[in-house]
Every structure is written in structure tokens, then in C-alpha cells.
Structure 1
Amino acid sequence: MSLEFSKKLAAHQTPIPGVVLYDLPVHGDNRGWFKENWQREKMLALGLPDFRPVQNNISYNEKAGTTRGIHAEPWDKFISVATGRIFGAWVDLREGPSFGAVFTAELDPSQAIFIPRGVGNAFQTLEDNTAYTYLVNDHWSADAQGQYTFLNLADETAAIQWPIPLTQAELSDKDKAHPRMADVVPMAAKKILVVGAGGQLGKALRAQYDGDTSVEFADRAEFDLTNANSFKSRNWKNYSTIINAAAYTAVDAAESADGRASAWSINVAAVAQLARTAVENDLTLVHISSDYVFDGSRDIHDEDELCSPLGVYGQTKAAGDAVVSVVPRHYIVRTSWVIGEGNNFVRTMASLARKGVKPSVVNDQTGRLSFTQDIAAFIRHLLESDATYGLYNFSNDGPVRSWADIARDVFEQCGASGSDVTGITTAEYFKDKAAAPRPLSSTLDLAKTRSTGFDIPDADERLAAYLKLENDKA
């Protein structure tokens, strides 16, 4: 079979999710041929994941009919033929709906294929002196062998049509002994780790991922972000994503000496350690930001606005955002006025309404509520939709309101009168009190979030549903 020269670099999807077949340009003349077997910039432009190979392996096969596999390793591979020709067979051995999917193709030096972690790889040489080469994104180790998944080359379910019958092929005794499909234990997906899982957002993420065994939750007792040993206790190769739901949020206490130190420790130093872990292990890092990174001088804040925090809490959140922004695979979700399971403004107002208290509430701070169930759903949407990495504003949708407006709604839905709430300026409310400065405008532009295809629930509808549950408990 003659080699086809000067193909155009191109990508072809296959029936196995994530497995992509590539045509490679090979340039030849009377002396032989040359090709760029791996060219990161061009490959990324075609959509190949930036899988960061660390090891290059070559399998030399003296005779046609040499058959190896089916092996699924715990790393990604970029496979090509250096010389000769092969029949390749790939079987999805990952947990999930595509388990058992099969793809076969003949490969010569003008082709290559990307095989994600957990997809079984096998090949049969069709010519003597064939060399099969592959880049992998993890270093081989004896420990890793225990994470392999295997399938028998002759499995009837996969029904691979080998060009040279297996009875006439060269096989190892090990490969002959691999299990049939019914006995294969699928390779589990890499895990998502949620840190700060004991807080309002952490609880919402637990509900969002309820029943999903690939998501692991850790509260502060289980993963202390300020303790370096927490980062050493996990094999990060088994994870794909960290969701950081932890933060120091005591806005006023952050202005004190002890609070300032705690805020910088949790919101910046710990986040830097998370970012380092994500970079070193090629993980996606999801981080939660705040409207407090702004001074509130604009009516609406979009993702391009530079940070201009007024107080210590806002300064630490802005610094944390800057740290996370250097992680190649990151999502920063900037929120405002968070409401979830735990102490929050709505719950406090509902309690005051039931007790007959008539509070004064600030009426010159404006924005929208962000319910944790929707923040959690949006985080999941970002991860599962392969949205472009970067910063996204998130709050619930609907009209811009003041805290006093929301308090009046809460009072009325709890059976009290909205007139029981007196509006007051921020300056009047905090007069003679030790308090952090607040941004007066916290309204976030949601256009970028909508562009991802996420349907943002209305804040007033979420508030009514939240209060109904609270009233039912009372």
C-alpha cells in the first residue's frame, strides 16, 4: 500500500465520544518522507484537547499479524504509525452510556488518533517491521497498572473483524487471558472534588449532584484549605475538577486585624494552593467570586469591568480571582446577594416578620438575589456544556431591587405588612457602627451567562418558592 502524500491536516469524529481520527500531512520525495507527527498549535486549532503529553513510547513489531490489546489505560494517548501499517480497534471501556462502543480503522503514517483515558486500544500489524508510536499525558508506573481495564481481543460483543484471524496472529498469553465484556469492570470517570461542602453553596451542590458517585464532597474537617497536608493526601490524577465552594464571608469582621488575616488566608493563600494544584495536575478549577470586588459606582457590572473593591473582603476576593484567572482551565462564577440553606438576609427578614419586628433596611443598595440551587446548576452546566473557560456573572434574573424592596416582599409573603419595613440609606444604617463599606450597585450583567444556553430562573419566583418552604417549616 503506497503512502498518500500531502494530505490536509483534518479531524474526523468517531462513534466513541472523545476519540478523534486525524489525517496528517506527509511530505515525501525520492529520499523518503517527513511529517509533523505532533504539532500542538495546529492540533489545538482542530479541537484536540491540550492534553499535555509527558512520555513518548514506540512499539516495534517485526511481523505482520502481531496483535496487541485490548488495553484501557488511566491516561490519554495520541497514537500514530511511524512506519508500516496497522488495523486499529478501539472499544469504550469507560462507565457511561457509550460503554462497549467500537471503532476500527486502518492507519498508516499519514493518520493519527486521539484516545481518551478509559478507551481500550488494540492494533494488528498489516506489514512487517511496523512501528506504532504514542504520546501519553502521564508517566508509566507500576502503581498505575492496577488502574488498567482490559477486554479480550476475541470478545463476541465487540465483534472486531480482525484482518488476520486471531488464530493465525501473534498474541501474548496475557492478552489471550483478558476478560469478556460481561466481566469487564468499567473504568470509573475522574472525580470532581467539592471543597467547602458544608456551606450554603456546598449544600446546594450536594443536592445538584445527589446520587452521582463521581462527585466527592469535603467540608473543612475533611479538607482544610489552609493545611498543606490536605493537598498531599489525595492522588490528583484521579480528579478532573475542583469546585471551590469555600470562602471567608464575614464582611465586617474582615476589617479587624484577626479577620483580615483569616480573609487573606482563606480567600487568597488557600486559593493560590488550589490554583497550583490545578495547574500541576491539569485540572479544571471552579471558583466563586463576589459583587464586592466592585465599588458599585456603575449601574451594572459586566465581566470586563476591572475590580475596584472598597473593603478587605472585596480585596481578598479580587485577589483570589486574579490567582484563579491564570489557571488554563478555570471558571470564575461571580455572584451577588447569595441565598441558600443557612443564615441569610431572606431568612432573617422572614423571622423578623413572624416576630412582629419592624426593621429599618437599606434602600440605596440595589441588585438581584442569587439562589444557591441555581448557582450550583449553572456550575454543572458550565462543566457539562464545555463552555469557554473564563469569568461569568451569575445572579437570578428579573428586575433590579433594593434590600428594602426585597424585605417588604418577604414580610408580605410571611403574612405581615410591607409597610413594617422602613427604608434607610446605607450611611444612616451604619452610622457609628464598625462596618465594612458596601457597593451601592451590585447588579450583574447576565448576557454572557445567557450565551451559554443556561435558562436563568427569575429571582421573584425563586423567592416565593423559598419562602413557601420556610413558612411550611415555621
Structure 2
Amino acid sequence: MSLPALETTPIPGLVVVRLDRRDDDRGFFKENWQREKMLAIGLPDFGPVQNNVSFNADRGVTRGIHTEPWDKFVSLATGRIFGAWVDMREGESFGATFTLEMDTSVAVFVPRGVGNSYQTLEDATSYTYLVNEHWRPGIAYPALALDDPSAAIAWPIPLAEAIISEKDQNNPTLDPATAIAPKKTLVVGALGQLGRALHGAYPGADRVDLIEGEGVTALDLTDAEAVAAWPWHEYAVVLNAAAYTAVDAAETAEGRIAAWGANAIGPATLARLAREHHFTLVHVSSEYVFDGTAPLDPGHTEDEPLSPLGVYAQSKAAGDIAVGLAPRHYLLRTSWVIGDGKNFVRTMQSLADKGVSPSVVEDQVGRLTFTDELVRAIRHLLDREAPYGTYNLSNGGPAMSWREIAQAVFERSGRSADDVSGTTTAAYAEGVLAQGNPFAPRPLNSAMSLEKIRSTGFEPEDAMVALDRYLA
């Protein structure tokens, strides 16, 4: 059978689908919902979970106008209907209307927040609809009067002659004060460097972390009961900035458990919830999922096989695999994150101010990623509706060693670059282990190719330009 045809309407997201109905002397056959073909013509992959059938014995039955908290795909099994839709969502299209007479060859996709109503034009009419959330008792959602003057729907059968429930006869008129807000954004790991930066970009977002803070609610993603009680259906986007980043401590018995909880179990839980509740999951990972043996040019690429070295790296790699199972996901692999809080740049700045001349490893090479650049990339991918998947993200410019970055900080702090001496990772590790402390293996090359995210129209800012602004 051929592809159905899609037609847009004055209501954003509300589309008409002309189905390929095959008729003969026995009756007709149609593919009422064929996911692959529907996606091919531009319908969203809305993930239906429930199929309902409304049988109407008499001509003139009129239901609605109901604004339900889910997407739905409406079509007919028998008969004809007159459909009427009113946009009840906040925004410029609030109050926009669309009407259409439908038979068994026509379907309509109705996005969440659009009020819908159906009037049967024949006896024994059955319409069927797929929805992407299970019906739950006690759900309340806005309704609109069938004779609302601003909607001014021209019903084929006058409402005075129609069959209407008592409840639908008493629905209110259109009121901008009751417009339906879009689904929300949630920041997970809101108290960390990246979480704080995300709050600046998404000030209206809900925020959670392991502990409570100002405006931050406690939520442990490894606590099944707490996760089950959280209203995940309220969110369109979940930004996961939570991570266990104590690379060396992850090598201890206690740290191993904490690292796997935050870096693997948490993302796996969010990926499962993203599948169930249809939100977009944005997850931030690390170049530590690679062993650092890639050529410096172009560096690690998104499709490179995972090769984590230590416990922290292994837990991050496990999280990456889990996030990849979410239908709508952006996985950003980043390196050497610098933001609001304790970090390498602030440490070097403090040492420079105190007159200390440190020894810094010079055989680990990569690029800094400032949290404001990471936030800018996240906003870019979401706003552009870039293809879902994995993207490398760091600031731009040449790859540098930790020593070269420390020297850059010293020079900007009024010290000489020569005040920073070099050492090797092996020598540094030997000193740490000699003191009885754990030491995790590091990838020597943390540089990543940035070509994939550039292909979406995003140009990373040079790391040294960002460093100047950060230190200023």
C-alpha cells in the first residue's frame, strides 16, 4: 500500500492524514496506523500505549470540546463525523480553530493541549483513537463550550437538535487565563557546576539533586519508590547534569558503588522513564569512555567503540549505553569541565596568587569545556531540533596539555609560564599511590572531534577566549 498523505492545519501540530483505503465489493481495507509510514510523512513518533473505541448509536451525538493531556490519533472504523478542534495552549495560536468532515479514509493527529470534539453524521458511527498515555481515574482537564462564540464552530447538526451529555452542556467559554502551559523542563543534578549553569539558562525549570537546596528538591534516582512517586509525565525535557566525578575515589569500594549509582543506574532509570513518558533526555557524559589512544587529529569520534579504563570511566560508558536506548535523546560527551565551583582553573589561579610554582602533567592532552559553552550547545540542539544521538562537545581551539593550560592561567594571573613545571602521568600517579591514595588510569588523549556538532550549525568558542572571560 502507498504512503498516506499529510496536510497541515491552522493549529500547529494538528495534521490531517489521508489514508490509503482500498475498496471492493466486499467492503474496504486500510492500514489505519502503520508507524513506519506515518513517520515517513512527518508524524511525530508519539508512542501510543492505549487504543480506545467510541461507538455512537445515533446521528447527532456530539462530544467535547475536551482538552486532554496526551497526544491522540483519531480515525473512523464506520460512519462519518464532523470534527472540530480548538487550540487551548499558551501562545500565539491560542483560540485557533479547525473543522473537518471525516470518513473512514481520514485520520487526524491531535497534539496535547488542543481541544477536540466530534459530531456523528450517521447512525452507528465508531471512531477510534490511539493515545500515548494511559487513562487514569481522577484526571481533570479543561473543556470548552460547544457553542463558544469566539470559536464559532458551524456544527452541521444544530446543537439544539444534537445529543449532548449534561456535562458537555455546561462547559465554560474560552478564557486565556486557563490556557494550557507547555510541559516543563527538569534539571537533575542541579547543585553541581553544570546544574547551576543550566538554572541560569532555564530559570523556570524544576530542579532536583540528591540533597535539598534553595529551590532544589531532593530526589535519588536509585530510590525506586521516590522515582515512582515523581510526576514524570509533566516534563517535555529532562536535563541530566548529575554525575559522580571523583575519578580516583571511584576506585575504592565505597566510591565504586556511588559511581555506578550516579553514572549508570541514574541514566538507565531516566532512559526508561523517557520511553514511558515521551520526554527528551539530555545527558552529559565524558571523554573518559575512551582509552585515549585515538589520533590527536581528529581526536575521538562519536562512533568510536567504547574503551573505558577505570571504574569511573566504566560507569560512564554504561550510562551512555543506557541513554542510547531512549527514543529522544541527546548525549553530549564532554571533557575537562570548568564552571562555578572548585575546578582546575580556579586551583591554578589560587596557586598563582599564592606564589606557588606547581608541577603539572604534560602528557595528557585535551580541551577545556566551560559550562556556559555546554549549556549553549544543549540549547542549540534542543532549539534547532537537531537529529537525536551522541555529540562531542568542548570549547574549540587547539588541544592543550594540562601544563599548557596551567601556564595560560599563570600568565593571565601575572606570573610567568616558566613557573609551571612539567611531569608525567606515571610520575604523578606514583606520588599519589605512595601516599596510600587511590589513583585511576587516565586517557592521555582527551581531544574529541567536533565536526558532528558543527554540522548542526554550532561553532564552539575557542577555549582561550572563554578562559579570558572566565578569569576576568
Task: State TM-score, norm by structure 2.
Answer: 0.91
The equivalences for 1:25-64 within 5 A come to 25-64=20-59
1:291 and 2:278 correspond: no
How far apart, in 2, do the equivalents of 1:366 and 1:406 lie? 10
Is it true that 1:131 corresponds to 2:133 in the alignment?
no
- Please say if 1:175 is aligned against 2:183: no
Query: What amino acid sits opposite 1:188 in the alignment?
Result: A
Is 2:261 the counterpart of 1:265?
Answer: yes
Aligned counterparts, 1:338-353, within 5 A: 338-353=337-352
Secondary structure, counterpart of 2:178 in structure 1: coil
Contact conserved, 2:3 with 2:37, CA < 8 A, in 1?
A: no
- Counterpart of 1:216? 206
Deviation at 1:290, TM superposition (A): 0.6
Matches for 1:86-125 after TM superposition, within 5 Å? 86-125=81-120
* Structure 1 residue 183, shift from structure 2 partner: 5.8
Letter aligned with residue 206 of structure 2: E
Which of 140, 143, 155 is the aligned partner of 2:138? 143
Q: Name the amino acid aligned to 2:448.
A: L
Whether contact under 8 Å (2:291, 2:442) holds in the other structure is yes
Q: CA deviation at 1:8?
A: 5.3
Q: Which stretches in structure 1 are left out of the alignment for 5+ residues? A: 1-5, 469-474
Query: What is the letter of the counterpart of residue 116 of structure 1?
Result: P
Does the aligned pair in 2 maintain the 1:195–1:220 contact within 8 Å?
Answer: no
From 19, 22, 25, the counterpart of 2:17? 22
Q: Is the alpha carbon distance of 1:66 and 1:292 closer, same or farther for their aligned partners in structure 2, counting shifts above 3 Å?
A: same
Count of residues in correspondence between the two structures: 458
CA 1:183/1:242 → structure 2, altered by over 3 Å: closer, same or farther? Answer: closer
Quote the residue 1:196 is aligned against. 189
* Alpha carbons of structure 1 residues 143 and 166: separation in structure 2 relative to 1, 3 Å: same
**What's 2:249 paired with?**
253
Taking structure 1 as reference, are residues 254 and 141 closer, same or farther at Cα in structure 2, changes over 3 Å only? closer
Q: Output the CA distance in 1 between the equivalents of 2:167 and 2:102.
A: 25
Q: Secondary structure at the match of 2:191?
A: coil
Distance 1:454 1:89, change over 3 A: farther
State percent identity of aligned pairs. 58
The equivalent of 1:157 in structure 2 is: 150
Please state whether the residue corresponding to 1:150 is helix, strand or coil: coil
**1:438 paired residue among 417, 442, 447:** 442
Mark the runs of 5 or more structure 2 residues left unpaired by the alignment.
Answer: 212-217, 434-438
SS in 2 for 1:433: helix
Q: Does 1:371 align with 2:366?
A: no
Partner of 1:472: none
Counterpart of 1:233, as a letter, is A
Structure 1 counterpart of 2:399, which letter?
V
Equivalent residue, structure 2, for 1:412: 411
CA shift at 1:292, angstroms?
A: 0.9
- The aligned residue for residue 3 of structure 1 is none
Query: Residues 151 and 184 of structure 1 are in contact (CA less than 8 Å); yes or no, is this contact kept in structure 2?
Result: no
Structure 2 Cα separation of the partners of residues 38 and 68 of structure 1: 23
* CA offset digits 1:322-372 (Å, max 9, x no partner): 122222222211000101111111111111111121112222211111111
Residue 168 of structure 1: how far off its partner (Å): 4.1
Q: Distance in 2 between matches of 1:100 and 1:91?
A: 6
Per-residue deviation, residues 218-249 of structure 1 (Å, max 9, x unmatched): 12121122322320221322233332211111
Deviation at 1:77, TM superposition (A): 0.7
Using the size of structure 1 for normalisation, the TM-score is 0.91
Deviates more, 1:301-310 or 1:401-410: 401-410
* CA distance in 2: counterparts of 1:256 and 1:68, whole angstroms: 63
Correspondence for 1:462: 466
- RMSD over equivalenced CA pairs, Å: 2.0
Instruction: Indicate whether 1:236 and 2:228 are aligned.
Output: no
Following superposition, the deviation at residue 312 of structure 1 comes to 1.6
Q: 1:293 Cα shift?
A: 1.1
Match of 2:52, SS? strand
1:163 deviates by: 3.1
Q: Secondary structure at the match of 2:377?
A: helix
Is the CA contact (8 Å cut-off) linking 1:7 and 1:110 kept in structure 2?
no
Which 10-residue stretch deviates more, 279-288 or 290-299? 279-288
Alpha-carbon separation, structure 2, partners of 1:116 and 1:58: 18
Secondary structure of 1:351's match? helix
Check the 8 A contact 2:339/2:371 in 1, yes or no. Answer: yes
Tell whether the 8 Å contact from 2:133 to 2:277 is kept in structure 1 after alignment. no
CA contact (8 A) 2:368 2:463 kept: yes
Q: Is the 8 A contact 1:354 1:414 kept in 2?
A: yes
CA distance in 1, matches of 2:118, 2:107: 13
Maintained 8 Å contact 1:89/1:102: yes
Take 1:351 and 1:206, find their aligned partners in 2: how far apart are those partners? Answer: 27
Q: Distance in 2 between matches of 1:297 and 1:56?
A: 51
Spell out the pairing of 1:308-347 with structure 2 (5 A cutoff): 308-347=307-346
Which amino acid letter does the alignment assign opposite residue 321 of structure 1?
A: D
Question: CA–CA distance in 1 between the matches of 2:274 and 2:2?
Answer: 37
Letter in 1 for 2:80: R
